[in-house]
């Protein structure tokens, strides 16, 4: 997978326009980020389906706390129908900073994610389900069958060791929330541990490890790094202590950034992003720098999802990032 993440902070028509450009630049998958304070991602993806021809598309990533998982499964099935069978289900524990605003930050974890996509697979296969776990459902089913049926690919979004192993064991792929080669090397090891169990239980099947990287590319390297501050603030605030320690990032600074984000004090949060955080949690710089970083990531990952912010000039960034991925893979 070589994909791009588009954020519905932009109008839906703009998201669709960028998606069409991404398809032309060689990307094979388009994700939309999922935060309650942006435009609805499924509505944006429906418009993306109309504006594109072949790219796969899906939430990157939805969580099972803002929307009941049975309803979420129906939304993905509808998207699959609208796109002619191109849907991908990106599902994960969600962003802690924004879920804090909804009173759901403490509910994040592996089990809700696993239950959400396993139930979705049953629903897509035409089954009626009863479920009593992290959510409840009684004789729930869909009144239509998506084109891909139960074969809609499931990509787990996350970065913790247990989530990586679970994805290797149960999902079709992992959208690893990381931008540094060292983190991807670590993720590959955890995925392989899960894949060993997958082999024992299912006889094995193809699996896709993609780096879901914050990317900012421009001919102006300084402008690219400056544009990367907002997503790096969100990533650093939600990073686990071992990850922060691996990159020499102070726990307290990351926690303070998270507090500012939860309070809506975004300028204060972004100003606290350090150069070390930019290097650890983003691929940011001129095209040559970004190409070299992509190549290093691809030593450990099967593909890259080019995530927000893309760059100071979105249209140019999509073009440059697509070219950098092609060159990095050669």
- Asked if residues 180 and 248 have their Cβ atoms less than 8 Å apart, the reply is no
Same domain, 305 and 156: yes
User: The CATH number of the domain where 177 resides is what?
Assistant: 3.20.20.30
Same domain, 208 and 61: yes
**One digit per residue, pLDDT tens: the chain, 330 residues?**
999 999 999 999 999 999 999 999 999 999 999 888 889 999 999 999 999 999 999 999 998 888 899 999 999 999 999 999 999 999 998 676 666 677 766 666 799 999 999 999 999 999 999 999 999 999 999 999 999 988 999 999 998 899 999 999 999 999 999 999 999 999 999 999 999 988 655 555 689 999 999 999 999 999 999 999 999 998 898 787 888 888 999 889 999 999 998 898 999 999 999 999 999 999 999 999 999 999 999 999 999 999 999 999 999 999 999 999 999 998
Same domain, 162 and 239: no
Q: Which range of residues forms the domain containing residue 265?
A: 229-281
Q: How many folded domains does the chain comprise? A: 2
In SS3 terms, 33-84 reads as CCCCCCCCHHHHHHHHHHHCCCCEEEECCECCCCCCHHHHHHHHHHHHHHCC
Query: H or E element: which one contains 18?
Result: helix 12-24
Phi, psi of 200, deg, nearest 5: -65, -40
Same domain, 261 and 292: no
Q: How many CA atoms lie within 13 A of 52 on its CB side?
A: 34
Is residue 325, in this structure, part of any structural domain at all?
Answer: no
Distance set, CA 274 to CA 49, 240, 270, 277 (Å): 38, 17, 9, 5
Q: At what angle do helices 161-170 and 181-202 cross, to 10 degrees?
A: 40
Same domain, 240 and 116: no
Is the four-CA dihedral 74, 75, 81, 84 of positive or negative sign? Answer: negative
Instruction: Find the distance separating the first CA and the last CA of the chain, reported in whole Å.
Output: 15
């Amino acid at each position: 997978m070589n994909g791009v993440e588009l954020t519905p902070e932009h109008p839906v028509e703009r998201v669709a326009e960028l998606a069409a450009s991404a398809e032309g630049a060689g990307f094979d998958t388009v994700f939309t980020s999922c935060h309650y304070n942006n435009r609805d991602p499924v509505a944006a993806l429906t418009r993306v389906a109309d504006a594109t021809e072949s790219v796969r598309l899906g939430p990157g990533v939805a969580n099972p706390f803002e929307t009941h998982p049975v309803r979420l499964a129906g939304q993905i099935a509808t998207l699959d129908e609208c796109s002619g069978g191109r849907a991908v289900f990106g599902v994960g524990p969600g962003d802690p900073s924004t879920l804090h605003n909804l009173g759901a930050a403490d509910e994040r974890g592996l089990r809700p994610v696993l239950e959400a996509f396993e139930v979705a697979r049953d629903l897509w296969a035409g089954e009626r389900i009863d479920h009593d776990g992290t959510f409840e459902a009684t004789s729930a089913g869909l009144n239509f069958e998506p084109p891909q049926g139960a074969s809609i690919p499931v990509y787990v979004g996350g970065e913790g060791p247990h989530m990586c192993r679970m994805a290797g064991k149960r999902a079709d792929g992992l959208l690893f929330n990381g931008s540094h080669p060292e983190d991807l090397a670590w993720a590959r090891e955890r995925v392989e541990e899960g894949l060993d169990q997958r082999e024992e239980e299912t006889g094995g099947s193809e699996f896709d490890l993609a780096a879901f990287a914050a990317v900012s590319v421009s001919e102006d390297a300084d402008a690219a790094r400056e544009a990367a501050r907002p997503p790096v603030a969100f990533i650093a605030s939600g990073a686990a202590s071992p990850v922060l320690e691996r990159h020499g990032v102070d726990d307290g600074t990351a926690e303070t950034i998270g507090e500012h984000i939860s309070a809506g004090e975004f300028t204060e949060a972004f100003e606290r992003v350090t150069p070390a955080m930019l290097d650890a949690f983003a691929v940011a710089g001129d095209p040559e720098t970004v190409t070299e970083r992509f190549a290093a990531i691809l030593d450990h990952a099967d593909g890259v999802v080019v995530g927000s912010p893309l760059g100071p000039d979105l249209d140019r960034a999509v073009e440059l990032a697509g070219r950098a991925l092609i060159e990095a893979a050669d």
